[in-house]
Amino acid sequence: MPASIRLAPWRAALLSLGCGLALSAGAQSICSSDGRRAPSAVLERFIGADCEACWTASSPVPARGATVLDWIVPSSAQGDEAPLSAASTRDSLNRLQALHWPTELAGHTFSHTLTRTGMAPTPGRLRVAHGVAVADYLGVAIDWQPTRGLAQPPGPWTAWLLLVERLPAGTEGSPIARQLVRNSLSLSLPSAPTRAWQERRAMRLPEGAQPERLALVGWLQDGRGRMVAINETVCENTPAPGSSR
């Protein structure tokens, strides 16, 4: 490609995503939530970067239908010298703040489950998708199609997109399968989207992440913090080890 038209990596990642969206749902160039049963809950585990024993310990079996997320929280005491610091992310602190949990609790292992509102019928359909990694970027997408004629939960809404690395049991010393949060994005919506809404972004891959293990978990929550919809990507012939179906 001539230098004059060479794309920046993040633009190339979005182009890869766009090309994949134009293909069939089974195309290898894109991973999406199409044709999959959406999770009914999100279980979040926060592990302090200085607690290596927390990473190597087993955890309770999640409820059926829950997708599980593992956040590694930076250590304020040991900093980069903490055993799990390489996998820690400051996004975990932002997530703790969004949950209104004191960040000083981040040195402990604990869990929290958020469930969907349980409204019937479902207020809409959430779709998440991502393309292939290009350099250090991954093109991601989130789409919301509200159910016509159905009142939506109160706003303002928040959309969360988490880039996770799916680690099978036995990987990196963990006895259980994990979905390690590698990057995150939150978007504020001033009001409930009563029309179709979509967002396209490029997310940066952290150093050390293996692209073939990457997936996307996304949800929408209303102004009361209740989950309106959850979904996650699955690539063709690839299981979702962080989920309990």
For the segment 34-42, the average pLDDT, to the nearest whole number, is 89
Per-residue pLDDT of 92-145, as tens digits, reads 999 998 888 877 665 566 677 777 666 556 788 999 999 988 888 999 999 999
Task: Phi first, then psi: give them for residue 11, nearest 5 degrees.
Answer: -70, -40
Task: Count CB-CB contacts under 10 A for residue 40.
Answer: 16
Q: Which two tokens stand for residue 198?
A: 């979509």
Amino acid letter, 43: L
Alpha-carbon dihedral 211, 213, 239, 145, rounded to 10 degrees: -60
pLDDT band at 27 (very low <50, low <70, confident <90, very high): very low
Q: Residue 36 pLDDT more than 80?
A: yes
For the segment 21-33, the average pLDDT, to the nearest whole number, is 59
Residue at token pair 């926060």: 46
Q: Which residues of 157-168 are buried (b: 16+ CB within 10 A; e: fewer)?
A: bbbbbbbbbbbe
Q: Which two tokens stand for residue 73?
A: 């929280």
- Largest pairwise CA distance in the chain: 55
Per-residue pLDDT of 12-21, as tens digits, reads 555 556 555 5
Calpha distance 13→52 (Å, rounded): 34
Whole-number Cα distances in Å, 147 to 55, 140, 156, 193? 41, 23, 18, 11
Alpha-carbon dihedral 120, 159, 97, 154, rounded to 10 degrees: -50
pLDDT band at 183 (very low <50, low <70, confident <90, very high): very high
Taking a C-beta distance cutoff of 8 angstroms, is the pair 124, 142 a contact? no
Calpha distance 89→184 (Å, rounded): 9
Calpha distance 239→245 (Å, rounded): 11
Task: Count CB-CB contacts under 10 A for residue 25.
Answer: 14
